[in-house]
Amino acid sequence: MSQALSTNQTGTLIPLDYMVLKMRIVSITDETVDTKTFRLEFCDAQQGEAFEFHAGQFGLYSVFGAGEATFCIASSPTETGYIECSVKRTGKVTNELHQCNVGDIIGFRGPYGNWFPIDEMQGKNLLFVAGGIGLAPLNSLIRNCLDLRDQFKDIAILYGARSVDDLVYKERLENWQQRKDVKTLYTVDPGGETPQWQGEVGFVPTVLTKMKPASQNTIVVVCGPPIMIKFVLAALVELGFSRASVYTTLENRMKCGVGKCGRCNVGNLYVCKDGPIFRCSDLEALPNEF
């Protein structure tokens, strides 16, 4: 099998001509009733060694016969030899992915898009705010930052989901909670708690307001449903944060991933090339189509 690779502007290896790299599923974790995390290894070890990405980038994953779907890479660039993606069962491709077993082979092309400004984050306080499956792209960045812990000042994580059952990465959430160098705050929407639930109860923006994070020298990264992002941003502005210090990711529908097919256009931008990571102050200039 010929696997032509080319170097794009960002210097990363991407398969040419919509060709995919074959990856084997090596483990599957049930996160919630409808979300699974797949750990994938390159079938061709050489490709695995050549593969590099940055936290925040995405790929197109395919079940042969069902088609391709876009997900962020949820594992950290500091973990090599495999990548992970977390997939909520919602449509044709995600349904087929959920039917897959350990050992099955799927297709992957990527990494595509820009990434979180990790260089700009050095020496700063970091606040991560995530809702539901929105923890997936942040998971990559948080793991990346924790692996390079001494390059950052205070790190705080605020994560919420509709109910205790909807929290993803439960094992990691516990790990982060146990670390002394990370402040964590987990919450579920009112009515989503269980008798055993030790965390907060309340919507993410409300809990954020109560949390009163300091805005000085802090970079915030927000990821979650559009409605949550909207209210989190309002709460942050209220707390004295500037929109320029807040980043988020736009998850538009995509097909090509390389700035051709036109599907992810917002105004004159291609979310797949100019994003998916955007500074919130830059989003204000865009037409409201995301």
Partner 1 sequence: MRSTNVDEQTLYTAQAGWLKSAVDILQGAGVDVMAPVETEPGVVELATVKSSEAVTLDYQNVRLPLKRLFFPITEVVLEFKSQPEGDVDVQSEPLVSETEVVVLGARPCGVAALEALDKVFHWDYDDVRYSARRARTTLISFACTRPDAQCFCTSVGGSPHNTTQSDVLVYLEENGQALMQVCSDKGAKFIEQLRDVVKPAPAGTQPPAPPEVKEKFDPAKAKAWLDEHFESDFWTEVALKCLGCGACSYLCPTCHCFDIVDEANWQAGQRRRNWDCCSHPMFTRHASGHNPRPDQASRCRQRIMHKFKYFPERFGQVACVGCGRCVRACCVGQNLVSILTDIESKAKGGDKADVASTLN
Q: What are the structure tokens assigned to 190, written together? A: 């009112």
User: Footprint of partner 1 on residues 117-146 (CB under 8 A)?
Assistant: none
Do the beta carbons of residue 221 and residue 129 sit within 8 Å?
Answer: yes
Stretch that binds partner 1, among 6-14, 113-121, 194-202, 235-243 (CB under 8 A): 6-14
Instruction: Give the C-alpha separation, 219 to 118, whole Å.
Output: 10
Stretch that binds partner 1, among 12-20, 121-129, 157-165, 179-187 (CB under 8 A): 12-20
Instruction: Give the C-alpha separation, 186 to 230, whole Å.
Output: 19
166 binds partner 1 (CB under 8 A): no
Nearer to partner 1, 81 or 91 (CB): 91
Interface with partner 1 (CB under 8 A), residue from 149, 179, 210, 260? 260
Interface mask toward partner 1 for 75-94; x: CB under 8 A: -------------x-xx--x
230 binds partner 1 (CB under 8 A): no
Helix (H, G, I), strand (E, B) or coil at 228: helix
User: Footprint of partner 1 on residues 169-198 (CB under 8 A)?
Assistant: none
Nearer to partner 1, 88 or 124 (CB): 88
Interface with partner 1 (CB under 8 A), residue from 56, 77, 107, 137? 107
* Rounded least distance, CB 64 to partner 1, Å: 5
221 binds partner 1 (CB under 8 A): no
* Rounded least distance, CB 146 to partner 1, Å: 29
Strands 67-72 and 125-131: unpaired
Report how far apart the first and last C-alpha atoms of the chain are (Å, whole number).
Answer: 39
* Rounded least distance, CB 12 to partner 1, Å: 11
Provide the 8-state DSSP code for 263. Answer: T
Residue 252 half-sphere exposure toward CB, CA atoms < 13 A: 27
Q: What is the 3-state secondary structure (H, E, C) of 132-159?
A: HHHHHHHHHHHHHHHHCHHHCCCEEEEE
Nearer to partner 1, 87 or 155 (CB): 87
95 binds partner 1 (CB under 8 A): no
* Rounded least distance, CB 283 to partner 1, Å: 13
Stretch that binds partner 1, among 33-41, 99-107, 202-210, 230-238 (CB under 8 A): 99-107
* Rounded least distance, CB 177 to partner 1, Å: 28
Examine residue 276 and say whether the peptide bond preceding it is cis (omega within 30 degrees of 0).
Answer: yes
* Residues paired with residue 29 on neighbouring β-strands, in sequence order: 37
Q: How many residues bind partner 1 (CB under 8 A)?
A: 49
Q: From edge to edge, which strands make up the β-sheet containing 83-88?
A: 67-72, 58-63, 105-112, 21-30, 35-42, 83-88
Cα dihedral sign, 6-7-13-17: negative
222 binds partner 1 (CB under 8 A): no
Count CB atoms within 10 A of the CB of residue 285.
8
In 3D space, the residue among 279, 269, 171, 284 whose CA is nearest the CA of residue 221 turns out to be 279
Q: Which residues bind partner 1 (CB under 8 A)?
A: 1-2, 4, 8-9, 14, 16-20, 22, 62, 64-69, 88, 90-91, 94, 103-105, 107, 225-226, 251-253, 255-256, 258-263, 265-268, 273, 287-290
